[in-house]
Structures are given as C-alpha cells and as structure tokens.
Amino acid sequence: MSLVADLLFAMKPRCPACRRGRLFKPYSVSVVEECSQCHAKLGKHDVGDGASVFLIFLLGVSIVPAAWLFECLVAPPLWVHVVLWGFVALGMIALILPTVKAFIILLEYRHRPGEWKKN
C-alpha cells in the first residue's frame, strides 16, 4: 500500500486486520479490546503515548512559526495569543490525534503480523 492510501485509511480508524470493525471506543481514542467483526485482539496493541510525541513535533513545527508570523504582522496583546493559539492547538489535537494513533497501529499490524492472533 502507498503512504497516501494508509493515511486515508487512518483518517477513518478501522481494524487493521479486517478493515471493517471500529478501532476506538466511541467518543474516545482508547483502543477497543477486540474487533467486533473479525475478533482480532486490538487492546494489547494500544500505542499509548506514542502518537502524542509525533503530535507534539507536528504542532511545534506548525503553531510556533504561525504565532511568530502573527505577532510580526498584527502585534496583538498577549491574551489574544493565549486564547487564539490555545484554541488552535486544541482543535488540531482533536482532529489529528486519532489519525496518528490509527496510523501507528496500522504500521504495527503490518510489520508484526504474527502478534495479532484472534485467540
């Protein structure tokens, strides 16, 4: 599979084994214990905080230069920066974290296929 196809798949988080069952519990980024469709054991493959590390780097590379550019162009008071970039960061986290976590689980499934037994 290509990187683009993997990222598109991760945007709609599904079981990497059957690609039909849900990967996360509803309204959460906690991995379900077992796939509802193929009964693959997904719970033991939770990546924990691994996705957060990638997200920190991504947010740091994108938000810090944007905030600096905004400061140079507009020069707003400090409270505007706090409110604006706080909401931008929280919004980006809510949108990107599930995709990054699903992508890491997909890579783990692809590179360690023997550990996903249904028993």
Check residue 115 and report its DSSP letter: G
- Rounded CA-CA distance 2/12 in Å is 16
Q: What is the pLDDT of residues 19-51, one digit of tens each?
A: 888 888 888 888 888 888 888 887 777 677 778
Given pLDDT bands bounded at 50, 70 and 90, which one contains residue 77?
very high
Mean pLDDT within 109-117: 70
Contact predicate 13/88, CB 8 Å: no
Range of the domain at 81: 3-115
**Count of structural domains, the chain:** 1
19 phi-psi bin (left φ>0, alpha ψ -120 to 50, beta other):
left
Is 14 strand, coil or helix?
Answer: strand
Mean pLDDT within 52-68: 91
Pick from 45, 53, 32: which is nearest to 112 by CA?
A: 45
Least confident of 7-11, 23-27, 38-42, 104-108: 38-42
